[in-house]
Homo-oligomer: A and B are copies of this chain.
Amino acid sequence: MLVKNREQVVMKAVEMDDTQDVQMAVLIGDDEGAPNFIMRRFEVQSGGHTPYHTHDWEHVVYILEGSGKLVGKGVERTLKAGSSLLVSPNEEHQFRADKDSGLTFLCSIPKR
């Protein structure tokens, strides 16, 4: 068993096209011996966003702090602390932090 406290987690800027003010850290992944899926922590600063994109794996997400929007093809859903969500494989999606609030969430993905 492996326990990682908050103080041990180092957030790093996400360098991708169409990305603004997003930091990420892998919490439980390959380095920790995750067998099947990986849990990451994301922090989006107020007004920031992840890329609007799609891929063939899912996201299983839990909102820890802040508020924002999950944007998809013709759809926009409100996110707040305590929301959980599924983005299915091949669904277009983007996470946006509200202008007056950051958005911090866990996002798990299958190992590939």
A contact residues vs B (CB 8 Å cutoff): 1-6, 9, 27-28, 32-37, 39, 41, 58, 60, 62, 64, 70, 72, 75, 77-89, 91, 93, 106, 108, 110
Q: Which of B6, B34, B110 contacts A36 (CB 8 A)?
A: B110
Q: Would A33 and B83 be within 8 Å (CB), given that A1-B70, A3-B77, A62-B62 are in contact?
A: no
Task: Report how many copies the assembly holds.
Answer: 2
Contact partner of A86 (CB less than 8 A), chosen from B1, B58, B60, B70, is: B1
Of B37, B78, B79, B86, the contact of A2 (CB 8 Å cutoff)? B86
Q: A89's closest neighbor in chain B, by CB?
A: B35
In the assembled complex, the CB of A8 is this many whole angstroms from the nearest CB of chain B, namely 9
Partner pick for A35 among B62, B64, B110, CB 8 A cutoff: B110
